[in-house]
Copies of this chain bind each other. A is one copy, B any other.
Amino acid sequence: MDAALRAEFGVEGEWQIWRRHRIRWAECDMHGHVNHAAYLVMFEDLRVEHWLRVGQGFGEGAPGPVVAKLEVRYLRALRFQDEVLLALRTTGLRNTSYTQDYAVWAGGLAFEAKALLVCVRDGASSPIPGEARGRFLL
């Protein structure tokens, strides 16, 4: 992430994957703010992108990430058409699970979450595939 992007959105820290996003009509509620559940859907997209980047897929019978825990803080309300930066970093890797941070930046931090993901295959937790592990934190 270059200095211009950091300055534009007030980003702090190091991040692994990021994406510009413009707040959608469907993400806003009657208050004119992004609904609290809509943030989670945004980061589902980044979690998918990470899983693909480490060479994994989502086919039938393939292992995939399932959310086991979330700690979420909503720091500032976002509004329709706001330009924001979504960012993800993987912070830990165990045998069958991993942890990620998610953040929305818009003139500083607007939202942050810590997630515990479990790798699941056919309904049971399953080791994160060896070929994926080397790229997991990059």
- Residues on A lying within 8 angstroms of B by beta carbon are 24-26, 28-33, 35-38, 40-41, 44-45, 48, 58, 64, 66-74, 77, 80-81, 123
* Copies in the assembly, this chain: 4
Q: How far is the CA of A77 from the CA of B31 in the complex (A)?
A: 18
Q: Which residues of B contact A45 (CB under 8 A)?
A: 24-26
Q: Is the interface of A mostly helix, strand, loop or mixed?
A: mixed
Pick the contact of A41 from B26, B28, B33, B69 — CB < 8 Å? Answer: B26
Q: Tell me if B64 and A31 are in contact (CB < 8 A).
A: yes
> Which chain B residue shows the least CB distance to A24?
B45
Q: Tell me if B80 and A36 are in contact (CB < 8 A).
A: no
Please judge, given known A-B contacts A70-B71, A73-B68, whether A44 and B26 are in contact too, CB under 8 Å: yes
